[in-house]
Amino acid sequence: MRKEFNELVETMKRWNLFQKDDEVDVALTNLSNKIDEVEKRIECAVRSANEANKAISKYTEDVDNHQPINMSVNDHDSILRGSNDVTIALDMGDTECVDHDWYNLFSPKEEPKPIAVGNIEYDFPEEVYTIANADNSEIIGDVYQSVFINLDKLGVIVCENDEGFNFGKANYVVKDNALIPLIIANQIDLSKVPIKKEVFMTFHSSWGEIDCDKDGNVIEVRGDDDEENYLNDIAVFDLAEYYTFLNSKNITMGEAEDILSVGFWKKDNTYNEADMDWRKEMFGEEPPTMLCADSDKHEIVNNIISQLKEIEVDGETMEYILKQVGMDEQMLKQLFAQSTNDEIDYLHDVRNGKG
């Protein structure tokens, strides 16, 4: 429906059949919004049906084997609710799914937190040279080859082949810091350079890597060309939902993530949800301790654990750490209380040299 609508609009534009904000433009905008709502309602119906199917599938084997079905109350409610939700979603006169923003589909798309773009590939018309200040401690800017040649002829810069050249930030430096304004005045204005490719995020999987822009649109897939490679079927990542999830965990969206952590739309417009088990394992549903209920402290704890794993901490060092923070007796009491009698007897024998 959306494809045909876009083709209609392009045809009307080509023949100048409407102008911005005239009656036809307003009517087309209203129709576009209605198409958006219909597509989102269909998506709601599909997801609701999937939820019902998940509950039903638990009992499929019993049905196939002609076994009695002992359905749980939760599964019964899930099937009934999923069935009712399909009806509600497809009834254009019922606004419940819109009013309550089912699956976060009807709220305005939330922009992801600003982060450094993973990679920008510019379409430079000439070779680019990077120039640093006279002591080569700071980059001044980049200039095109033609500018570089002129600066070289004027003796403004020192090249790497010149005697006494200091390697560091760049292969070329200005001869005198007083000439820095000349470099700055000639440096490349990136706002005027066409961008070949701008990667916002990269997702990794066992099938390869896949890049997307800030709107989630797939830019490039790097992996097997095998027909079974599902990465080739992905069209758009659901960055808005992913951002909302991360924000609920006080986590800033990064430049690279595992593909299991994010939902996406396929080229046939079907939606694939994020792997919730993966999210639970990686991000956790509940803080492991009361102290970790504070997200800042939880982050510090995770950093400490990562560092201990990195150095492959041994028992002797861990004992030293516990003593330094005054927790050795407390840990002994907690571990003792959690141990079985057999484990305590074994440790008693080890202490007395019998183990």
Enumerate the β-bridge partners of residue 119.
199
| Buried/exposed 239-262: b ≥16 CB within 10 Å, e otherwise | bbbbbebbeeeeeebeeebebbbb
CA distances (Å), 105 to each of 8, 37, 264, 310, 320, in order?
25, 9, 13, 41, 52
Tell me the one-letter amino acid at 32: S
Rounded Cα distance between 265 and 215, Å, is: 12
What does the pLDDT read at residue 293?
60
State which H helix or E strand residue 18 sits in: none
What does the pLDDT read at residue 151?
93
CA 292 to chain centre: 24
Q: What are the domain boundaries of the chain?
A: 2-104, 124-192, 198-283, 291-351
For residue 273, give the nearest of 104, 93, 136, 77 by alpha carbon. 104
What does the pLDDT read at residue 149?
94
CA distances (Å), 112 to each of 107, 121, 180, 218, 257, in order?
14, 21, 37, 16, 14
What does the pLDDT read at residue 116?
46
For residue 265, give the nearest of 205, 218, 227 by alpha carbon. 218
Backbone angles phi, psi at 12, to 5 degrees: -65, -35
Q: In which residue ranges of the chain is pLDDT below 50?
A: 112-116
The answer to whether 246 and 282 have CB atoms below 8 angstroms apart is no
Model pTM above 0.75: no
